[in-house]
Structure 1
Amino acid sequence: MFLSLPRAATALAVGLATVVATAVSPAAAHTRSWRDISPAESNGTVLFDVESAGGATWAVGRHSDTTTRTFTPVAMRWTGTGWQAPPQPADEGHLDDLAIGAPDEVWAVGTRFETAGESDGEQARALLQHWNGTAWSEVALPFPEGADDTSLSAVDVDARGSVWAFGGYADAAGQYVPALFRGDAHGGGAWTRLPANTGLNWVSQLEAGPGGVVHAIGDGISRFDGTSWTKQSLPPALDGALFDGIEMRTTNDVWAVGHIRDENLWRRPVVVRYDGRAWRTVRTPAETGQLYDITFDGSGRPVIVGETQDPAVNPAGNYVLTTGPQGLLTRTEDPPGAGFLYGAATDAAGRVWTVGGASGAEGGVSPAAYAGIRR
């Protein structure tokens, strides 16, 4: 999940071709009840992802304060009554993505900062960490010898318990090389480096499905069949779209969300859906919004979260799309206290969780962490 900072994309005019107008099921035309469960005393903190599985719910992000440290990683566990933040293995850095295989098999990726030397300042390194039910520990990945500027941006756990992590490094010539790793779910297992030539310039999230099939999203969508990657064909009007969230409901029902630059709206929300044959556009409101994550509630309806920086759309900054009375995606929900929203998940009880920053952002920076839940 990323903050609301401009990224390179082609500005396109309003108007999307190949629109699926009835791709989702109708829902009641009313705002559902959200409850603010934001962590206490979280000024300077923002949460980028939330996941819930096996009765465990975690959220990750970063914290900044007035010390000389740039950021400190944050990982919070929901106890049933509040958030608990166990000690982190890295003193400086941030966590961007999260995956849960079981209550004692939780994984998070991001960046740690290390002091490179008196004259070189801080150096960023890939950070992969594992929760074993008691404590967090850092896990080393088999980057090639001599790899520099290592990074990790995405992690997922598949149904078999395999862990997938995506990142990259700089080779001896200083060229960026993508990297994909797979390991077993039991912390000390061997890791394998797999082909990572997705055809994308960057990857924001992975979705590991049945049979070793993995989808990667970023400046496009790519599919890994266990051997090689195939960049997916999207509707031509989405050339330049950027994606931050993906959800695979079945092999032939995959959703991805993001945004596209728009000459009139600045950023327009984008939702696409794969039906087993092709990726098609799902109609979204023609208003300023950027989408970061998608989940499905206990009734099977999509809940898509993000942000808007247009006060006429929502002065609080949060942007939530769900299905309206005609079965189209619409903005009818406004979680109290929420600002920009970066992550969403559904637990076994069908409750939807979302995290991000609290309302009241200045200059695109939220004042504190936000977490919300709805049935």
Structure 2
Amino acid sequence: MLLSPLRAAIALAVGLTAVVGTAVSPAAAARTSHWRDVSPPASDGSVLFDVETAGGATWAVGMSRDATTGSSAPLAMRWTRTGWQTPPQPADEGRLEDVAVGAPDEVWAVGTRNDAASGTGSKEARALLERWNGAAWSETALPFPEGASWTSLSAVDVDAGGSVWVNGGYVDTAGEYVPALFRGDAAGGGAWKRLPADTGLTWVSQLEAGPGGIVYAIGDGVSRFDGTSWTKQSLPPALGEALFDGLEMRTGNDVWAVGHIRDENLWRRPVIVRYDGHAWRTVRTPAETGQLYDIAFDRSGSPVVVGETADPAVNPAGNYVLTPGPHGVLTRTEEPSGAGYLYSAATDAAGRMWTVGGTAGAEGGISPSAYAGIRR
């Protein structure tokens, strides 16, 4: 999220050479869309990292920062049709990275909490898994191995059968970092099972559980879990160093991942890949400074990809949104008013598109306050 020295956009000739179209209807190209700013009031020092919606329930999570102490607190907000409600949190310090909505009374959020380390005056990050039961948030413990320290959680999802998937990691007694993957039932009180977590990735930013126990994970690549083992996916060679933050599994044969790749001229260039049932292919994106964080599909089935740009010539507000333009090619056609960096997108049952992040005017990578927007 930290800003880098600004780089000017250069000619399209530096773009990827192996590309495919987005395979969406050109009828969606260049349409006028209206974003409505529904940012939570009095959210100075706050930022939202993820938004998810299901069953009429919409939640956004992130953190709020104390301007005096510099400490941060986990933040989870529920949309009530007229505004945001912020129920009390079980942890005083930390942050929430990801949220999964199974039902209005079955919501899960993950991140880290900062606890005092035993026998020291410092604080140690510990995994934070929370469950909303329709009335309150409560913390749930996961079966990390005995002696595990510096535990953390980065991603959570709820599959169609109600199982909860949680990804994270810990430092073992030998001082080595070890990835961890857990699955539990939606009742919250059932047993958690630890599953193979050797994704082949150095880190995992998001995972998505689909039918038949298939799970995709993304980070410094894309990996697929078949219920028994993980297989790192073969991406186009030009994307060997791409980093991914957003994932959408529409069907088993239609999977999208979005992120960025470092570029010596542009700093970071947006990257999108799509699995069509046979192979992963690159989806064309503009050759300009941009970093993509998430993807969702609107009511017409068109992709909406959100992120940030550090180049004021691209967008001085910082938000970066790609949607189908002329001929169905993804391009910058929308700029949500008031938005700065955008970290997540989701579509609710009514077909409305949601996006969250920080408001415009970030300094040093820190947004002034939390942003939320709705596109009808």
TM superposition score normalised by structure 1: 0.96
Matching residue's letter, 1:189: G
Question: How is 1:229-308 mapped onto 2 (pairs within 5 angstroms)?
Answer: 229-308=230-309
Say if 1:290 and 1:307, in contact at 8 Å, map to a contact too.
yes
Query: Corresponding residue for 1:167?
Result: 168
Contact 1:179/1:193 (<8 A) preserved: yes
What do residues 322-356 of structure 1 show as CA deviations (whole Å, max 9, x unaligned)?
Answer: 00121100101000000000010000011000000
The one-letter code of the counterpart of 2:268 is R
1:331 maps to 332
SS for the counterpart of 2:327 is coil
Tell me the secondary structure at the aligned position of residue 326 of structure 1.
Answer: helix
CA separation in 2, counterparts of 1:245 and 1:209? 15
Find the aligned partners of 1:127 and 1:105 in 2 and give their Cα distance: 16
Partner of residue 190, structure 1: 191
Which residue identity does 1:360 align to in structure 2? Answer: G
Are 2:76 and 1:82 aligned? no
Q: For the residues of structure 2 that align with 1:317 and 1:144, how far apart are their CA atoms?
A: 42
Matched-pair contact (CA < 8 Å) for 1:14–1:262: no
Question: Is the Cα contact below 8 Å between 1:17 and 1:235 reproduced in 2?
Answer: no
Q: Which residue of 2 aligns with 1:136?
A: 137
SS at match of 1:156: strand
Q: Secondary structure, in 3 states, of the residue corresponding to 1:20?
A: coil
Q: 1:22, CA displacement in angstroms? A: 4.8
Alignment CA distance shift 1:276-1:36 (3 Å): same
Whether contact under 8 Å (2:22, 2:330) holds in the other structure is no
SS at match of 1:348: coil
Structure 1 equivalent of residue 9 of structure 2: none
Give the match's secondary structure for 2:328.
Answer: coil
Q: How does 1:54-65 map to 2 (within 5 A)?
A: 54-65=55-66
Q: Deviations over 1:128-148 (max 9, x none)?
A: 000000000000000011111
Whether 1:18 and 2:21 are equivalent positions in the alignment is: no
Structure 1 segment 88-237 matched on structure 2, within 5 A:
88-117=89-118, 119-237=120-238
| 1:262-297 superposed Cα distances (whole Å, 9 cap, x missing partner) | 111110000000000000000001110000000000
- DSSP 3-state at the match of 1:133: coil
Task: Give, in angstroms, the shift of residue 186 of structure 1.
Answer: 1.0
Cα distance, 1:5 vs structure 2: 6.2
Instruction: Look up the SS of the partner of 2:326 in the other structure.
Output: coil
Distance in 2, matches of 1:4 and 1:352, equals 26
Q: CA deviation at 1:67?
A: 4.1
User: Counterpart of 1:18 in structure 2: which amino acid?
Assistant: A
Query: Counterpart of 1:277 in 2: which secondary structure?
Result: coil
Contact 1:23 1:282 in 2 (8 A): no
Distance 2:227 2:332 in 1: 38
Unaligned runs of 5+ in 1: 7-12
**Partner SS for 2:246:** strand
2: CA distance between counterparts of 1:134 and 1:285? 45
Contact 1:16–1:238, Cα closer than 8 Å, also in 2: no
2:193, 2:119 → 1: CA distance? Answer: 35
Distance 1:114 1:67 in 2: 19
- Distance in 2 between residues matched to 1:189 and 1:198, nearest whole Å: 25
In 1, Cα distance between equivalents of 2:121 and 2:202: 27
Q: 1:314 to 1:65 in 2, by over 3 A?
A: same
RMSD (CA atoms): 1.3
Q: 1:356 is matched with which residue?
A: 357
d(CA) in 1 for partners of 2:293, 2:181 = 22
In 2, distance between residues paired with 1:232 and 1:17? 20
What code does the residue aligned with 1:270 have?
V
Q: Write the letter of the residue equivalent to 2:187.
A: H
TM-score, structure 2 normalization? 0.96
Matches within 5 A, 1:5-44: 14-26=14-26, 27-44=28-45
Question: Which residue is equivalent to 1:47?
Answer: 48
CA distance in 2, matches of 1:31, 1:267: 28
Answer yes or no: is the 8 Å Cα contact 1:215–1:223 preserved in 2: yes
> Residue 14 of structure 2: SS of its match in structure 1?
coil
| 1:372 counterpart = 2:373 | yes
Aligned to 2:10: none
Which stretches in structure 2 are left out of the alignment for 5+ residues? 5-12
83 and 199 in structure 1: CA distance in 2 versus 1, 3 angstrom threshold: same
Paired positions, count:
367
| Deviation larger for 65-74 or 189-198 | 65-74
- Determine if contact 1:14/1:264 at 8 Å carries over to the other structure: no
